Amino acid sequence: KQEVTQIPAALSVPEGENLVLNCSFTDSAIYNLQWFRQDPGKGLTSLLLIQSSQREQTSGRLNASLDKSSGRSTLYIAASQPGDSATYLCAVLSGYSTLTFGKGTMLLVSP
């Protein structure tokens, strides 16, 4: 059974810092990995999708990497801003459209 772990569970940084969020998964037989953002009490916004054959994806200040063989992904956020404060969820797609989520990293960026 696929399990997804995210470290750290919470992170507080001052504005302007670069930061890294970590995601690990137990079964490397995945189709893709997605990073989502969730604001308090809200739904999910897809940030980046990395296919299993890819090593990284970039969108603006966000960069996600994937090392499928070791079961790891990182989300790098450059020059963090208070508007980046949210919970970041990692999810892997394996099996038949089966998405497994981590518990998330709660990020707080203070001005």
Partner 1 sequence: SAVISQKPSRDICQRGTSLTIQCQVDSQVTMMFWYRQQPGQSLTLIATANQGSEATYESGFVIDKFPISRPNLTFSTLTVSNLSPEDSSIYLCSVAEGGGNIQYFGAGTRLSVL
> How far lies 19's CA from each of 29, 52, 78, in Å?
28, 24, 7
- 32's CB contacts (< 8 A; 6+ apart) are 49, 50, 51, 52, 92, 93
Name the residue nearer to partner 1 (CB basis): 11 or 16.
11
- 94's CB contacts (< 8 A; 6+ apart) are 2, 27, 29, 30, 31, 100
Stretch of residues binding partner 1 (CB under 8 A), selected from 16-24, 42-50, 58-66, 68-76 = 42-50
101 binds partner 1 (CB under 8 A): yes
11 binds partner 1 (CB under 8 A): no
Stretch of residues binding partner 1 (CB under 8 A), selected from 19-27, 37-45, 55-63, 72-80 = 37-45
Q: Give residues in contact with partner 1 (CB under 8 A).
A: 31-32, 34, 36, 41-44, 46, 49, 51, 89, 91, 93, 96-99, 101-104
